[in-house]
Amino acid sequence: MKLSRATTHVLILLCVMYFITYIDRVNVSTAAADFGKEFGLSKTQLGFVFSAFAYPYLVFQIIGGWLGDKYGPRKTLTVCALIWAGSTILTGLVGGFVSLIIARMLLGLGEGATFPTATRAMASWTTPDKRGFAQGITHAFARVGNAVTPPLVVALIASTSWRGSFVILGSLSLIWVVWWAISFRDNPADHPRITQEELRMLPEYGHFKDRPKVPWGPLFKRMIPVTITYFCYGWILWLFLSWIPQYFLHSYNLDLKKSAVFSAGVFFAGVIGDALGGIVSDHLLRKTGNLNVARRNVVVICMLLTLASLVPLMFVHDLVVSAICLSLGFFFIEFTIGPMWSIPMDIAPKFSGTASGMMNTGSALAAIISPVVGGWLIDRTGNWELPFVVSMALMVLGSAMAFAMRPEKKFDEVAHAPLQPQPA
């Protein structure tokens, strides 16, 4: 991968975006120790704060994906980034529980269209045999964001305050907006640094620009198994993102700095899983030519390995054992990201933004339910391991549902396109 290539530059832009968006969405988990005390919030209330982001995020998955398909990634992501950067700054200015919820919902509104629209950008800026890598490496940067956020936010809180940490991070997000608006082009041929060699390798842009209207019903029906599978993934993801810093802080009575270090270790395991998952999936596709082997089988195996990794938490209460088990569980569940986000492009490349938005509604719905259920279980029982039992059950459901995804069966957009009125 040559750094001078325009395709590499676009991939770097997207990697930085994924990195920033995850810092801005998970910083609240580390700062919760401070604002939760200041506002007198219970664990259930904190769960609602964690999940508030996901309500508009859920709504705008499909809408945002459609906007990315219709207006292009450049305009769509520019507007979205301005909203999420502004909402992060506003979070540092809140006065209590209600305004905190509103700020987090505004963040979800801004980030709702980001990943589906980024997938739309990848569909025209990557070749099919590198889609798993592109999705894996961008999500790896998201997990780098997860990993660095706990110590980063702790450092910012120590040097300023929990409020100052949000203002600083939101201001840094604005820099990416300018970079994206200046550097990205929807049509690769319009990029000033693109070469003819790169253009020959990329899909023809007219294939994406001149397409029939979205056949909503048939496409949604086709994506249902993918969405359910991704819901199961999203449940454990949002449990980890919301509660892991608090888990180490309270279950093992660590101070904020030590809990941040252990949390970062767990999240860094996800970085490795994201990167390797995309590479392995693409390798299997090139070797076998079989999308079921390259996408579905990787998802099934890794979900079952995630379940196995979490089982010891139910029987052993030891800091080192817990850290290892949680790291392995996060590694294996993140290994599924490259294959999963490639599937919408495999199934419906012309509608990849809309299709990936449909898929990501599963994770967004899980983001609403999982943190609240986790907080409620902890409040009711005082048991910090109990929320992981639900996650293990969903790994069984997800691995079973994956067999219905059928990534090798391409969606026939022509057969399902709405009938056009005939001239009189």
Query: What pLDDT shows up at residue 305?
Result: 97
61-91 b/e with 16+ CB inside 10 Å = b?
Answer: bbebbbbbbeebbbebbeebbebbbbbbbbb
- Which structure tokens are listed for 55? 């309500």
H or E element at residue 335 = none
Q: Is residue 339 domain-resident?
A: yes
Give the chain's mean pLDDT.
Answer: 86
Region at 184 (left for phi over 0; alpha for psi -120 to 50; beta for the rest): beta
- Cβ distance 333 to 309 under 8 Å? no
Find the domain containing 377 and state its range.
6-186+217-411
User: CA dihedral defined by 183, 187, 191, 196, rounded to 10 degrees?
Assistant: 150
Q: What is the mean pLDDT of residues 281-305?
A: 93
pLDDT of residue 424: 40
For residue 124, give both structure tokens.
Answer: 């025209």
Instruction: State the pTM of this model.
Output: 0.75
* 421 assigned to some structural domain: no
Confidence (pLDDT) at 420:
47
Give the pLDDT of residue 209. 59
Confirm whether 191 is domain-assigned.
Answer: no
Is 368 part of a structural domain of the chain?
yes
Query: Alpha-carbon distance 70 to 58, whole Å?
Result: 19
- 285 in a structural domain: yes
CATH of the domain at 163: 1.20.1250.20
Confirm whether 193 is domain-assigned: no
Integer Cα distance of 22 and 138 in angstroms: 11
At residue 363, does pLDDT exceed 70? Answer: yes
Average pLDDT value for residue range 39-43: 86
CB contact burial 253-264 (16+ within 10 A = b; e otherwise): ebebeebbebbb
Instruction: Kindly state whether residue 250 falls inside one of the protein's structural domains.
Output: yes
Average pLDDT value for residue range 236-247:
84
Q: Which residue has the tokens 């702790």?
A: 154
The pLDDT of residue 254: 78
Q: What is the pLDDT of residue 240?
A: 87
Place of tokens 């505004």: 106
Angle between helix 337-347 and helix 352-381 axes, rounded to 10 deg: 140
In this prediction, residues 250-258 reach a mean pLDDT of 77
List all residues 6 or more positions away from 233 whose beta carbon is below 8 Å from its beta carbon.
303, 333, 336, 340, 362, 363, 366, 398
Find tokens 């395709």 and name the residue.
7
For 126-153, what is each residue's pLDDT tens digit?
887 788 888 888 888 988 887 788 889 9
Q: What is the pLDDT of residues 406-421, one digit of tens each?
A: 988 888 755 555 444 4
CA distances (Å), origin 78, targets 155, 166, 177, 386? 29, 20, 6, 41
pLDDT classification of 247: cutoffs 50, 70, 90? confident
Distance CA 286, CA 386 (A): 41
Contact yes or no for 387/373 (Cβ under 8 A) = yes
Domain count, the chain: 1
* pLDDT tens profile 191-237: 888 888 888 888 777 655 555 578 889 999 999 999 999 999 999 99
CB neighbours (10 Å) of residue 396?
Answer: 13
Residue 3 has pLDDT above 70, yes or no: no
Q: In this structure, are residues 88 and 169 in contact, taking their beta carbons and an 8 Å threshold? A: yes
DSSP characters for 352-393?
HHHHHHHHHHHHHHHHHHHHHHHHHHHHHH--SSTHHHHHHH
Q: Is the pLDDT of residue 106 over 90?
A: yes
Q: Are 312 and 325 in contact (CB under 8 A)?
A: yes
Q: Average of pLDDT values for 56-70?
A: 82
Cβ-contact 165, 181 below 8 angstroms: no
12-50 burial, b if ≥16 CB within 10 A, otherwise e? bbbbbbbbbbbbbbbbbbbbbbbbbeebebebbbbbbbb
Q: Amino acid identity of 422? A: Q
For the chain, how far is it from start to end, CA to CA, in angstroms?
54
Region 13-26: mean pLDDT is 90
Decide: 228 and 401 in contact? Cβ < 8 Å: yes
